[in-house]
Amino acid sequence: MTVLTSRRMLGRPEPWVFAAIVALSLLVQARSGQFFTGNNLVDLARALIVPGLFSVGCMMVIVSGGIDVSFTAIASLAMYVTDKVILPEDYGGSVLLAYAISAGLGLLMGALNGVLVAFLRLPTLIVTLGTASLYTGLMFGAFAASASGVPPAIAAHGKQILFTAVNNDLGLTSTMPVHVLILAGVLFLVFLLLRYTMLGRGIYAIGGDEAAAERAGFNVRAIKMFLYCLVGALAGVTGIVRISMIDYADPSSMLGMELTVIAAVVLGGTRVTGGVGTLTGTILGVALMTILENSLILMGIPTYWSRAFTGAIIIIGTGVTARQIGLTRRRDRALSTPSKGAQA
Amino acid sequence: MTAIGAPAAQRARGSRDPNLVRLLVMLVFVFVLMTILRPAEFATLADFNSMMRQFPEYGIMAIGMSLTMITGGIDLGVVGTANLSAIVAATFLIGTVPVGAAPAQVVPYLIVAVLLALATGLACGAIAGTLISRFNIPAILATLGTQQLFTGIGIGITSGRPQSHLPLLYSKIGNTEFLHFFPLSFVLFVVVALAVGFLLSRTRFGAYVYMIGTNAKAARYAGLNNASIILRTYMISGLLSSVAGLIMMARANSAKADYGAPYTLQCVLIAVLGGIDPNGGFGKIQGVTLAILILQFLSSGLNMFNSVSNFYRDVIWGGVLILVLVFNYFFSRRANRRAIREAS
């Protein structure tokens, strides 16, 4: 029994991603001696928050059998409109209002994706490529967006910290922002959604086999509509997290991040054909990508090559998972053929 | 589902292709609209000449992209491939051509540079095609990865700087005009469009491409070597991208890793507008060519309104893409119903 579970564990990607993280950490530690320091770990956790939030939504979309490249555009436009258009420049009230407005705007933008994907059954990649272009165009065109400051409420929120880590050797300090709790909260809620609700199970069912899910009584349209609205709202929240953490509203700082996030989600074992994916794997994937990106310099890779490096990671990561799927399928076929023969 | 219905209905009503008719009507509409709005500038001979210099570079990429979309895939790496090919050619020229060489001496270098660029394009296409056909990575992810990889390699080689100071002869040849009116790039586009059109409609390979796009499994059981055919379509797409890269290099008189970033979306838009089914199996090069012209008329016309920010172009491309998808959805649903009615 225990043998079986451990073997089953090794068939899953999560332990491997975890092993890769450990190996990479040891490598960086060996080369720089600065990996396992309090401030480096806090810095990594800090860098993980925004991609982590994005990856949760991205994972759900890929599990449902789709792909979304518009979430960074949604996050950017939602936070920008909230920050510059809706809230007054000297807004000093509760930051929750900023989150609510941005989430609402994100939800509306996600709803457009939802209508096109769920009701018109259009290909998700092309739809989200189109809406991403629409939203970034609106942001730079209609709102003439440029990097600008944030209202006091958001700035103050960005300075809320949980604790400070000090590196005595280098004299560096790093602060753990309160936003890490938002990531934890989102992870917990999405965990409950995916694990214990019919809606969450529906997302997996659609990704596994849409026709079968429909026959089994899942309302495929409603589930997809809900999913894209949720992902939009999450992106809106992430937008505010981002600008409060960096203390200014930069409309283009999140654009382009979607590829790394998708790569991280796929690295974490989410099956690109849908139906399979876990939050644990996703966060491990994001952690691996974050450590990789932050350690390129420590490992001696010149910054100009970092993009080629990301591309290679996407290809290797998806290649490995695609290969695993192929092997499982072949094994299933090998197992099922003789049993059919025996019946005959 | 709906996609299969549409061409069935087309066939039932004879050889006249309603999609081409629709595109022609749209082309005339945009043309007339722009002529009325901007009679002094639009549709003058000088304007036609400048348009003929603009569309071939993305038009040739769009044809490559369309080819891969007909197989049911997509090539999001076209722009990365184009830039990398141009960078390879430019780096070669800058590194080898002696300073102050006479034009006659430069010619052999130019030939080698062009061959190197084309070989790079073929190699890029072969990488993408191998990932998709042998490793079974979904085309979307594989080419998202190759786009990052190729752009990243380009940045790495050039340290992110433009490769300029090319031999003057290159851009001189690149900007040759036949009959003092038709730019070389336009002639190349016509040759490519005719060649790919012939390949798709008159050769066995073309028929296989459509078969794989319609039903890959059926094609395999019919004895087709799917992997080899898919590999070849991506290699053609890579080759065409490198041609586009050479044209871009002649126009800008330099090569850079991030030229033409918006072309990816524009190529998807052109393919979908031109009647290529994103699910594969349907679409013609004639339609794609008409779509290229429609887009060029729109974009040239918009250029003549100084008040329209360049960023609105993103809004327009994104918006048009979604509108066309929605329109095609309702159109094919209606055609589908009609086909069912006629059949019963």
**In a structure prediction context, what are the per-residue pLDDT tens digits for chain B, which is 344 residues long?**
344 444 444 444 444 577 788 888 888 888 888 888 877 777 777 888 888 888 999 999 999 999 999 999 999 999 999 999 999 999 999 988 887 778 888 889 999 999 999 999 999 999 999 999 998 888 988 998 999 999 999 999 998 889 888 888 888 888 888 887 889 999 999 999 999 999 999 999 999 999 999 999 899 999 899 999 999 999 999 999 999 999 999 988 899 988 888 788 889 889 988 989 888 888 899 999 999 999 888 888 877 776 666 777 788 888 888 888 888 888 878 888 888 888 77
Residue of B nearest to A121 (CA): B329
**Between vectors from CA B325 to CA B322 and to CA B329, what angle results, nearest 5°?**
140
Does A314 contact B311 at a Cβ distance shorter than 8 Å?
A: no
A298 close contact with B: CB closer than 8 A:
no
Distance from the Cα of B93 to chain A's closest Cα (Å) equals 22
Q: Is the predicted pLDDT of residue A340 greater than 60, yes or no?
A: no
**For helices B45-70 and B285-303, angle between their N-to-C axes, nearest 10 degrees:** 140
Alpha-carbon distance B260 to B257, whole Å? 9
Close Cβ partners of A78 (under 8 Å, ≥ 6 residues apart): A102, A103, A105, A106, A109, A232, A235, A236, A239
Question: Closest partner residue to A319 among B137, B151, B312, by Cβ?
Answer: B137
What tokens does B75 get? 């090539």
Does A314 contact B278 at a Cβ distance shorter than 8 Å?
A: no
B130 close contact with A: CB closer than 8 A:
no
| Sequence ranges of the domains in chain B | 5-32+46-298
pLDDT of residue A336: 53
| Sequence ranges of the domains in chain A | 12-273+280-331
Alpha-carbon distance A202 to A213, whole Å? 7
Distance from the Cα of A318 to chain B's closest Cα (Å) equals 6
Write the ipTM: 0.79
Alpha-carbon distance A22 to A26, whole Å? 6
Alpha-carbon distance B42 to B35, whole Å? 6
Alpha-carbon distance A237 to A56, whole Å? 12
Domain B5-32+46-298 architecture: Orthogonal Bundle (1.10)
Question: Is domain A12-273+280-331 annotated with CATH 1.10.3470?
Answer: yes
What average pLDDT does chain A have? 85
pLDDT of residue A226: 96
pLDDT classification of A330: cutoffs 50, 70, 90: low
